[in-house]
Amino acid sequence: MQNTEQLSSYHSMLDTYNTQDLVNAFVDDQANAVQAVQAAAASLAAAVDAAVPRIRAGGRLLYFGAGTSGRLAMLDCVELNPTFSWDKSRAVARLAGGDDAMNEAAEGAEDDEAAGATELRALAPTANDVVILVAASGRTPYVVAALQAARAAGALTIGIVNNPGSVIDALAEIPVVLDTGAEVISGSTRLKAGTAQKIALNSLSSAIMVRLHKVYGNLMVDMRATNNKLVRRALRLTVAASGATRTAAREALEACGYEIKTAIVVLCCRIDPGEARLRLAQAEGSVGSVVQSGKA
């Protein structure tokens, strides 16, 4: 039996708990999710190192999943654009059952092998693409079929699963096994298995973006300032990165179309926005490289 399907020996009388003990049982069990991801950290690092050269060469991040796993994968995919200004065409998620399954469970769709393979092939994957396949069981037919099609196309396959020894664990080029074990509510992988998947997905995609120079120091310098809150955040980030006054930072941001990276280079190197963009392009978007060379 899969670890995620086993009966928990710790909470066999769960339905008799008082409310505080009930909440504590769920919250305390989440610590195991963190431990599972920590145990898989080396695999996540290997996935980042394998993915980055492909993405730099023009590849895409392609996410495939079903049910809770697929929704978490889609969430990670969608957030790359506002957080890192990542081109939407280079981060694509496919969920078993289609977009409607995001809002309404379509449990039967996970068994549709043909759909998994067809939807993967429809994206015309290349050897530079990175396919992230998420399935708690590690054997979801829709996801397995997408994995096989991705491998046939030569794409990098990263499998994120919660059961060691599963089909996806065996077939993925880089398996990331999050062995979270039995759930407080037996078999409900929306609990700590899902939590571990979210941590792993966040860590994987964020580390890739850091390696692609979307972050300067620990500052989110490539985000999109699309509302008032984010405009204020852009100003704070520009001040923190450049040491400029708020007035100077605001003027630079306005001159640069609220491109934070460009504004930082303008302020630190005392050049115009056009030259700042050129230098950033030559440095593959690395603010640190441009600033250091500008001070030399």
Task: Give me the residues paired with residue 94 across strands.
Answer: 64
Strand order of the sheet with strand 130-135?
91-95, 61-65, 130-135, 156-161, 174-177
pLDDT at 39: 98
Q: For residue range 146-184, list pLDDT tens digits in order.
A: 999 999 999 999 999 999 999 999 999 999 999 999 898
Determine the Cα–Cα distance for residues 147 and 151; give it in Å rounded to an integer.
6
Region 3-211: CATH code? 3.40.50.10490
Q: Residue 197 — pLDDT band, cuts 50, 70, 90?
A: very high
Length of the chain: 296
Closest CA to 157 of 141, 176, 177, 184: 176
Q: Would you say residue 103 has pLDDT above 80?
A: no
How is the chain split into domains, by residue range? 3-211, 228-295
Average pLDDT over residues 271-278: 96
Taking a C-beta distance cutoff of 8 angstroms, is the pair 280, 262 a contact?
A: yes
3-state secondary structure of 46: helix
Residue 114, judged by CB atoms within 10 A of its CB (0-12, 13-18, 19+), counts as exposed
- Burial code of 24-34, b = ≥16 C-beta within 10 A, e = fewer? ebeeebeebbe
- pLDDT confidence band for 296 (50 / 70 / 90): very low
Q: What is the DSSP letter of 239?
A: H
CATH number of 228-295: 1.10.8.1080
Dihedral sign for Cα atoms in the order 72, 98, 81, 90: positive
Give 222-250 pLDDT, tens digit per residue.
998 989 999 999 999 999 999 999 999 99
pLDDT bracket for residue 99 (50, 70, 90):
confident
Which structure tokens are listed for 240? 């923190």
What pLDDT shows up at residue 1? 56
pLDDT at 105 over 70: no
> Using one digit for the tens of pLDDT, what is the confidence trace for 38-54?
999 999 999 999 999 99
Return mean pLDDT, the chain: 93
User: How high is the pLDDT of residue 3?
Assistant: 67
Closest listed residue to residue 261, CA positions, set 287, 242, 234: 287
Q: pLDDT per residue over 107-127, tens digit each?
A: 677 778 899 999 999 999 999
Residue 219 is predicted with a pLDDT of 96
Catalytic positions, written as ranges: 79, 110
